[in-house]
Amino acid sequence: MWNAYTADEPDPFPEMEARMIEARIEDLMGDFGWVESVLDYGGLTDDAMINAITASYGPEYHSRIGGLLVDILMRKAEEEATEWVRNKEYLDV
């Protein structure tokens, strides 16, 4: 069976890579330090976020901003997790 930690050849079961990426996304989203660094150093330039923040207050205003913020964090986590898995950075841990 293919092992992500020892294999040099491509994954014959791409769903294994997808599962590793999803697990890494969950780790990043649960890491307060990572979330704080994304908020401090980038990720808030998303047009949808800026539009939501500058929009008028309404009954769903806060949930809309929260949802957009989570979307931005999830995109960033997915980018980093995919790079982490594909560059085999998990071998350094």
Instruction: Report how far residue 20's alpha carbon sits from residue 4's, in angstroms, rounded to the nearest whole number.
Output: 9
pLDDT at 2 over 60: no
pLDDT at 80 over 70: yes
Which of the four pLDDT bands, split at 50, 70 and 90, describes residue 27?
very high
Ranking 19-23, 28-32, 55-59 by mean pLDDT, the lowest is 55-59
Alpha helices in the chain (DSSP H): 14-29, 32-41, 47-54, 61-86
User: Considering the entire predicted model, what is its pTM?
Assistant: 0.64
**Which one is predicted more confidently, 46 or 77?**
77
Instruction: Report how far residue 79's alpha carbon sits from residue 81's, in angstroms, rounded to the nearest whole number.
Output: 6
Per-residue pLDDT tens digits for 7-22: 566 666 778 889 999 9
pLDDT at 49 over 70: no
